[in-house]
Amino acid sequence: MPAIETPCLKICVLEAGARLCRGCGRTLDEIAGWGAMSERERRHIMALLPDRIAAHRMGAAMPDAPAPKE
C-alpha cells in the first residue's frame, strides 16, 4: 500500500487563535480527517497551504476552505 502524501513537517503545534498547525498550516479537522480524504481532497488542501501560511504569518484571518468532495 503506497504511503499517503502529507504536508506534515513534524512541528505539530496548533495555534489557538488561528486554529492552524504551526508546521503544516492545516486545521485540526483537516489533520484528523486526512487519512479518510481522497487524493483529490488532500491535493486541494495542500495547494492552499502556502498562501494560508503566508497570510497567517502576516496576521490575516484565515477563511475556511473545505476540500472539494468527490
Tens-place pLDDT, residues 3-49: 889 999 998 998 877 788 989 999 999 999 999 999 999 999 999 99
Distant-in-sequence contacts of 39-45, Cβ < 8 A, 24+ apart: 39/5, 40/67, 40/68, 40/70, 41/67, 41/68, 41/69, 41/70, 42/4, 42/5, 42/6, 42/67, 43/5, 44/68, 45/7
The pLDDT of residue 70: 58
pLDDT of res. 56: 81
Q: According to the model, what pLDDT value does residue 18 have?
A: 77
Q: Which residue has the higher pLDDT, 60 or 21?
A: 21
What's the whole-model pTM score?
Answer: 0.76
pLDDT of residue 3: 80
